[in-house]
Structure formats: structure tokens, C-alpha cells
Amino acid sequence: MATKGRIDMLVRFSCLLLLLMGSCYPQRDKLLQGEELKDGDELLSTFGKFKLGFFSTTSSSSKRYIGVWYNMPEDRKLYQPRYDEVVWVANRNSPIIDKSGSLRIDSTDGNLKIFHSGGNPIAITSVEGARNTSVTLEQSGNLVLHELHSKEMLWQSFDYPTHTLLPGMKLGINLQTGHQWFLQSWLTDESPAEGS
């Protein structure tokens, strides 16, 4: 009987410890206007399946991209996400040349942009009339720009796929708007620029 009581107490203590450790390292899935995601920071989808952040395709490359990739278990993590783990790249044709990048919602127009020391901001979204917005990395891997109060979706990365088809994405043409959904490969395993 005493052994069963000790095991029960040990299980309860372990659960409490896990809860406390989880609250010490809060992960966020949302970026609000006025906040920034610096190179080295990440957004983590609600249940931890996907991450969004800055990455390089090789450890020797100074080119930085912002993208979404599968959040791999600790024992499989490398310094950089591998080609087959990245599912979407925001600036595939416009890499940043150093680690000065930060992802922000522009306070003047409410659009999501990459700011960096090497030049003009790189626009990820271009929604007219967007003002008070937030961006969320959803559990599906979809990065969504919302109007903050109404929660109306203004833009989503699933409408601009790069090279990977995820559940919930579409391929084809919207006959009402003419918008096209298509996949385009990376140029090489080390360059997410548009391939064939």
C-alpha cells in the first residue's frame, strides 16, 4: 500500500512540475500591432505543430528568410529547418542579407512587413483599408492577418502557397476574382526562390 501511495504522489508531483515548466516558457501564436518578431524569435501554432520565424537554408549562408516550418522533436532539431520541413516562405525572392530583420505589422497601413537594415520594408501583405490588425499562426500552418476587433480574415498565407500543399489549401483559379492558387518549387534545396 505504501508503494502505491508513493507512486500516486510521484505522478501528481510530475504533472504539477510539467504544468509549472510550461508556464515558465510561454509561446505565442499571435503578433499584435506594435509588437515585433525579431530574428531568433518564433511564433508557435496553438498545439505546437508549426513554427514561424527567420531561417537560413544552410548554416554558412547569410541569406535570411521568414517562413513556416514543421516544429520537429528536440532530438531531430538542427540549427536550421531542412528543406523538407519548411512549408511556406514569405520572402522567397527577397532574402535579407543579415540578422537585422524583424516582422511587424506596419502602424501606418496595418499590413505585415519585414523591416531590415538593408533597405525598404518587404511587404508580405497588401490589404487596402487594413488598420487595427493582428497576425496568427494557426494549427494548420496558415498565417492569417485579421482585423483585431471583428476577427475578419483579411489575408492568409494559404492563398499564396509556395512549394508545399497542406490540408486546407486550394489549387486552381477563383472564377470570381481570377486569383490563382499554385505551387512552385524551390530553385534548389538551398534557395527558396521560385523554381519551375
**What is the SS3 assignment for 1-14?**
CHHHHHHHHHHHHH
The CATH code of domain 2-194 reads 2.90.10.10
Q: Mind listing the pLDDT tens digit for each residue in 88-98?
A: 999 999 999 99
Residue 182, φ and ψ in degrees, nearest 5: -150, 160
Question: Nearest-5° angle of CA 74, CA 32, CA 68?
Answer: 35
Each residue's pLDDT expressed in tens, for the chain with a length of 196 residues: 566 666 666 656 654 544 444 444 458 999 999 999 999 999 999 999 999 999 999 888 899 999 999 998 765 555 566 657 999 999 999 999 999 999 999 999 999 999 999 899 999 999 998 889 999 999 999 999 999 989 999 999 999 999 999 999 999 999 999 999 999 999 998 899 998 7
User: Are 161 and 192 in contact, with CB atoms under 8 Å apart?
Assistant: no
Nearest partner of 115 among 131, 104, 99, judged by Cα? 104
Sign of the alpha-carbon dihedral angle for 43, 45, 46, 49: negative
pTM of the model: 0.81
User: Would you list the domain boundaries of the chain?
Assistant: 2-194
